[in-house]
Amino acid sequence: MTRQGTHLQLCGRFSVVLDGREREADLPGRRARVLVGLLATHHPYAVERDELLDALAPDAPRDAAVGSITVLLSKCRAVLGRDTLVGRSSISLRLPVDGDIDVQLALVAAHEAESAVAQHQWTRAWPAALTAMFITRRRFMPEVDAPWADEWRGRLDLIQQRTLGYYAEACLGIGGAELGAAERAARRLVELAPLSETGYRLLMRAQADQGDVPAALITCERLRTVLREELGVAPGPLVQKLLTELLG
């Protein structure tokens, strides 16, 4: 398959596209994919060989692990090119200026969405939040069972929750046909974070803006119950303010 440019995809199906050519199938096995994934999460910075050893061969004798990593790097360089995998004592992944990595795109898009929502620029927030949501809804490096991968999964889970909120805010700001999407995003946020007042508040707004105030009041009561039973607290001022508006 041929695509334009250079792209690395770590969430969902692992993919490496260099200069329009898919190269992941040419990599020498799972450890090579783990190597590329680890380097990609540090891009553009280098990773020390000791960190690579801990990630790729944590239980192997040190001398054997060093030799194994050296061979693995050599095989990966044969596929990706010496200009892509650079360094000796520390290794870095070097991509063209227009190259991209999906997790980094998600981080940038989430920041863009947050900034746009803060400025009530709904049509700017909408595509940025959607981009981050699309990337983070897929599991990061599914075949990797390691602490560094778990850390990234936790980080991306939080980004997904944040951008679901930004997306719902943007859809509410745009209104019209986007109100249904706002409700779906808010429901998904509540599913992922059952104690999120933001999720419940956005769901209440989406229901009310679609003309279903009774449903919004039921959602508010559900939030009251969850917070009382789990945390022993009442909803915060933003939810209380919205409730007053709905009752008024």
Asked if 19 and 6 touch (Cβ cutoff 8 Å), the reply is yes
CA distance 203 to 110: 20
How many of the other CB atoms lie within 10 Å of CB of 231? Answer: 9
CATH code for the domain defined by 7-98: 1.10.10.10
Following DSSP, what letter does each residue of 5-23 receive, concatenated? S-EEE-BSS-EEEETTEE-
Asked if 84 and 42 touch (Cβ cutoff 8 Å), the reply is no
The answer, yes or no, to whether the previous bond of 44 is cis (omega within 30 of 0) is yes
Name the residue type at position 65: A
Architecture category of domain 102-247 in CATH: Alpha Horseshoe (1.25)
User: CA torsion, points 231, 236, 242, 243, in degrees to nearest 10?
Assistant: 50
Question: Across-strand partners of 91?
Answer: 47
In which order are the strands placed within the sheet that holds 90-93? 47-48, 90-93, 85-86
Domain ranges for the chain, please list them: 7-98, 102-247
In which order are the strands placed within the sheet that holds 7-9? 21-22, 15-18, 7-9, 100-101
Per-residue pLDDT in tens (0 to 9) along the chain, 248 residues = 445 789 999 999 999 999 999 999 999 999 999 999 999 999 999 999 888 888 887 777 777 778 888 899 999 999 999 999 998 889 999 999 889 999 999 999 999 999 999 999 999 999 999 999 999 999 999 999 999 999 999 999 999 999 999 999 999 999 999 999 999 999 999 999 999 999 999 999 999 999 999 999 999 999 999 999 999 999 999 999 999 999 98
Contacts of 113 (CB under 8 A, 6+ apart): 125, 128, 129, 132, 163, 166, 167, 170
CA distances from 117 to 85, 111, 127, 188, 204 (A): 38, 10, 12, 19, 18
